[in-house]
C-alpha cells in the first residue's frame, strides 16, 4: 500500500484564502479512498476539512456536519484558535437567508480578510452574512 501525502496548510487562527479552500475542495473530490486527514498542530483545521468533505463530497446537510469541529475549544466560536468554526458559522448565517452550497458560497461570497476582522472584533456571524 502506498501513501500519497498532500499538504495544504490551514492555520487555526487565520482565515484561509478562498483559493486555498477551493483547492482543498477539489482535492477532496478527486482523492482516492481511504483518506486520513491530519493536522500538524491543531485539530480544528482537520475538523474543518472533514466538515467540508461531508458538505461538498458526501452532501451531508449543513446542520449535521459541524460536529466534526473538535470540542478541544469546547465549541466556543471565539476561542483563540477557532477561526475555522467561525468560518462555518458565517456560512450557516448566509444559508439562513438563501441556501447556497459551500463551494459556491466560497467562490462568490467568501472574503478571508472580512472573516479575519470579524473573528477578532467578534460580531455575530449573521452580521458578515
pLDDT (tens digit per residue) in 1-37: 677 788 888 887 889 999 999 999 999 999 887 777 7
Check residue 72 and give its pLDDT.
47
Residue for cell digits 459541524? Answer: 66
Is the N-terminal amide bond of 8 cis, ω within 30° of 0? no
User: Which has more pLDDT, 85 or 103?
Assistant: 103
φ and ψ at residue 14, rounded to 5 degrees: -140, 130
Is the Cα torsion angle 38, 43, 44, 50 positive or negative in sign? positive
Cβ-proximal residues to 93 (8 Å cutoff; 6+ apart), any chain: 124, 125, 126, 128, 129
Output helix, strand, coil percentages for the chain, rounded to the nearest 5: 55, 0, 45
Q: What's the predicted TM-score (pTM) here?
A: 0.81
- In percent, how much of the chain has pLDDT > 70? 80
Secondary structure of residue 34 in the 3-state scheme: coil
**What's the burial of 5, exposed, middle or buried (CB within 10 Å: 0-12/13-18/19+)?**
exposed
* Closest to 111 measured CA to CA, from 98, 128, 96: 128
Amino acid at each position: 500500500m502506498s501513501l500519497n501525502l498532500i499538504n495544504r496548510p490551514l492555520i487555526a487562527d487565520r482565515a484561509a484564502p478562498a483559493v486555498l479552500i477551493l483547492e482543498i475542495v477539489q482535492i477532496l473530490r478527486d482523492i482516492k479512498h481511504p483518506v486520513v486527514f491530519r493536522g500538524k498542530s491543531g485539530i480544528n483545521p482537520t475538523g474543518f476539512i472533514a466538515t467540508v468533505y461531508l458538505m461538498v463530497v458526501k452532501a451531508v446537510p449543513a446542520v449535521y456536519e459541524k460536529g466534526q469541529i473538535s470540542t478541544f475549544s469546547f465549541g466556543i466560536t471565539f476561542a483563540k484558535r477557532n477561526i475555522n468554526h467561525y468560518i462555518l458559522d458565517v456560512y450557516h448565517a448566509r444559508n439562513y437567508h438563501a441556501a447556497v452550497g459551500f463551494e459556491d458560497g466560497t467562490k462568490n461570497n467568501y472574503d478571508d480578510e472580512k472573516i479575519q476582522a470579524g473573528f477578532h472584533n467578534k460580531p455575530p456571524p449573521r452580521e458578515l452574512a
